């Protein structure tokens, strides 16, 4: 009986330790993401890429819609996923000359719900990119950049249906 009680107490302590560590790891991961937004909770996206017209996406009934006739739902999901981009480091924006890191003007501007994210140039070393969120500069993987629309998304939809 005493051995079972000791085993039960040890099991409870182990489960509590695992739960605490999981919570600590989740909090640490959240601190190293570009935003606190859950990509699945994003329901409004605006994106402006240098040299292309601005676009707007809204999620309604689980589907993305756009003012343009052709909505690339995969692209809207990719844009929302940028909210959880891993961040290598955060620095105060005042430490940088915005023009020298491609943020005056930015290469791309992405607004997820009410969070504005500005994408700049790649860093001199490694394959990373400067990104401004509020008054902070994040260093993120270079591929973390809104992708342009596919060429067929820019074309007017065909009016011939079979």
- Domain ranges in the chain are 1-31, 39-154
- Could you list the pLDDT tens digit for every one of the 162 residues in the chain? 888 878 777 777 777 666 666 654 455 555 689 999 999 999 999 999 999 999 999 998 888 988 765 667 689 999 999 999 999 999 999 999 999 999 999 999 999 999 999 999 999 988 999 999 999 999 999 999 998 887 654 444 444 443
pTM of this structure: 0.75
Given a contact cutoff of 8 angstroms between Cβ atoms, the answer to whether 123 and 91 are in contact is no
Distance between CA 136 and CA 18 in Å, rounded?
A: 33
């Amino acid at each position: 009986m005493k051995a079972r009680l000791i085993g039960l107490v040890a099991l409870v302590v182990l489960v509590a330790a695992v739960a605490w560590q999981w919570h600590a790891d989740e909090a640490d991961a959240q601190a190293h993401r570009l935003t606190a937004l859950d990509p699945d909770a994003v329901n409004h996206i605006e994106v402006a890429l240098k040299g292309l017209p601005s676009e707007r996406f809204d999620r309604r009934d689980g589907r993305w819609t756009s003012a343009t006739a052709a909505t690339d739902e995969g692209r809207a999901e990719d844009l929302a996923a940028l909210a959880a981009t891993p961040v290598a480091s955060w620095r105060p924006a005042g430490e940088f000359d915005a023009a020298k890191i491609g943020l005056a003007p930015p290469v791309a501007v992405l607004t997820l719900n009410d969070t504005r994210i500005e994408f700049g140039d790649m860093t001199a070393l490694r394959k990373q990119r400067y990104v401004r969120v509020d008054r902070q500069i994040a260093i993120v993987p270079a591929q973390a950049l809104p992708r342009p629309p596919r060429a067929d998304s820019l074309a007017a939809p065909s009016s011939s249906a079979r």
